[in-house]
Chains A and B, each alone.
Chain A
């Protein structure tokens, strides 16, 4: 091996990545602890609802982040998988009596399968072609469901109440269990993201995003990587859809598969920081309450104020601060090291 003279100060101990992970694990525990006890101190149903929605969009956005943030494939039609998840578990429940707790697992798998089918031709396309394809395909499926009687068409499906229980995932008297269910989902996704960041998949996905050609030269299978990311992302999004179907007890294409949902699924990640661990959560925590409050005080949802808000936020983040809010406050811990001391041109000294 090469011999070289010892540099002035070798970075000792944990590297940047390890330090970051410790910070992340700690912050994760703290946040979880807070969120576990939070609803007990809040009695207002309206506020609780906002919390539940915030948790849901955190979960959904984290799922989107797997494909869009880590792997760099921007899906602008992710409501597709949300809707499919909602429909699969609801149909299994209403037509075949399958308890939603099992149904949602099936929903996840069906959503993942659809993602594979949809992505198979699309991943041959580069970035913006893929984004366009996701929009068009989401629209296609939306129209399909709107005109398909077996799934309820435009009228939708009411989720019948069959008694409160976790198995049927229905609670009429108190909404609190839903809070913990969505918290659970968000936590699972946070853990998944935490694991991804330090796994071979995570590294490969980021390589695909940063420089696909270089990634290929190092043995990364581009197509396979993207497909796995798409399936994983869709799986969790589908489960989120199932949860939501049980929560609102009524589904139809307009509420489960519309374009606005697609925006709300990806926006928290964009706002908070695409491809970061805390980005989606931070983004959702800012966006969802803001949306609800805006809607209450500045006209109803028909006034367009929510669209204006989303549009401005997306444009602002995209052009001014692509790293998102976590980049702004360095929450995620990807801190730039202080300017390195003047080293030789090649950053090393080598015995000639």
Chain B
């Protein structure tokens, strides 16, 4: 068990965004986190990434309590993330962006560059090595986000809606990249809306609704689960599930 979320609740003022959520992530798997809008996926995602601190509950990474650790502490331990609204370093080139990530594991510029070039190659962005991040197309920017996170040498990679708005060709390339990342030994948690892309990709799925875990299981079972259908489409479609 790589990551364990134990009874996490998140309250923002009067809103209970996450309610007593528990789940586990097994090393080497690709786990999907889905649910309708407002289900609390992003909140949970941010809690795991260390960006926010849960109101109650614990999060354990490799047995260590990381609940109050903070984003940079989590990065050191091996949790990397992307941002839904892309946050590239606009004044830097693609290579430099990735190097920032690589510096997490080393203090040497030569070593960071070597690692960054490796990741550049792995994510297929070699052609864009010297391009300023501000000049990239949106899918390229997203890919840079992933590359940069990968450069930190993570054990767990958190992907926040990376497949949204991609053309079928781009999505295909994206799926391949995720598979390659897993093949290289990184565990992946994906928050996603684009079902057709997610379902064939993930090993397991956790469905959130209204701040709580609705159900979890294999994609094939999830898709047919009546509660999931209701959550997404409303009562009327329940019967046809």
- Complex CA gap A206/B91 in Å reads 8
Say how far A327's CB is from chain B's closest CB, in angstroms.
Answer: 11
* Contact A2-B176, Cβ < 8 Å, known A220-B72, A221-B72, A348-B125: yes
| Total inter-chain residue pairs, C-beta < 8 Å | 153
Interface residues of A in 311-325 (CB under 8 A from B): none
A344 close to B169 (CB less than 8 A): yes
Binary CB contact string for chain B from 1 to 25 against chain A (1 if under 8 A, 0 otherwise) = 0000000000000000000000000
Q: Which of B92, B106, B184 has the most CB of A within 10 A?
A: B92
B100 close to A218 (CB less than 8 A): yes
Interface residues of A in 198-236 (CB under 8 A from B): 198-200, 203-204, 206-207, 209-211, 213-222
- Is B107 among interface residues, defined by CB-CB distance under 8 A? yes
- Complex CA gap A282/B93 in Å reads 24
- Is B172 among interface residues, defined by CB-CB distance under 8 A? yes
* Contact A340-B127, Cβ < 8 Å, known A1-B180, A199-B109, A217-B80: yes
Say how far A86's CB is from chain B's closest CB, in angstroms.
Answer: 34
B83 close to A217 (CB less than 8 A): yes
- Is A303 among interface residues, defined by CB-CB distance under 8 A? no
**With a CB–CB cut-off of 8 A, which chain A residues contact B80?**
217-218
Binary CB contact string for chain B from 73 to 105 against chain A (1 if under 8 A, 0 otherwise) = 001100011010001111111011001110110
**With a CB–CB cut-off of 8 A, which chain B residues contact A214?**
83, 87-89
Say how far A148's CB is from chain B's closest CB, in angstroms.
Answer: 41
Looking at chain A's contact residues, the main secondary structure is loop
Instruction: Choose, from A9-17, A119-127, A177-185, the stretch at the interface.
Output: A9-17
Q: Which of A4, A198, A214, A352 has the most CB of B within 10 A?
A: A214
**With a CB–CB cut-off of 8 A, which chain A residues contact B174?**
346
What number of B residues sit within 8 Å (CB to CB) of A?
59
A347 close to B125 (CB less than 8 A): yes
A17 close to B96 (CB less than 8 A): yes
Instruction: Choose, from B34-42, B136-144, B203-211, B218-226, the stretch at the interface.
Output: B136-144
- Is B228 among interface residues, defined by CB-CB distance under 8 A? no
B172 close to A15 (CB less than 8 A): no
- Complex CA gap A200/B104 in Å reads 9
Q: List 28 A-B contacts (CB under 8 A).
A: A1-B184, A10-B127, A11-B126, A11-B129, A16-B93, A16-B95, A200-B112, A203-B96, A203-B100, A203-B103, A203-B109, A204-B103, A206-B89, A210-B92, A211-B90, A217-B71, A217-B72, A217-B80, A218-B75, A218-B104, A218-B152, A337-B130, A340-B131, A346-B143, A348-B127, A349-B124, A350-B177, A351-B176
Can you add 9 more A-B contacts, CB < 8 Å, to A2-B176, A206-B92, A215-B100? Answer: A17-B93, A203-B103, A211-B90, A216-B70, A218-B72, A343-B127, A345-B137, A348-B123, A348-B126
Closest 5 CB pairs of A and B: A348-B124, A219-B75, A214-B87, A16-B130, A219-B104
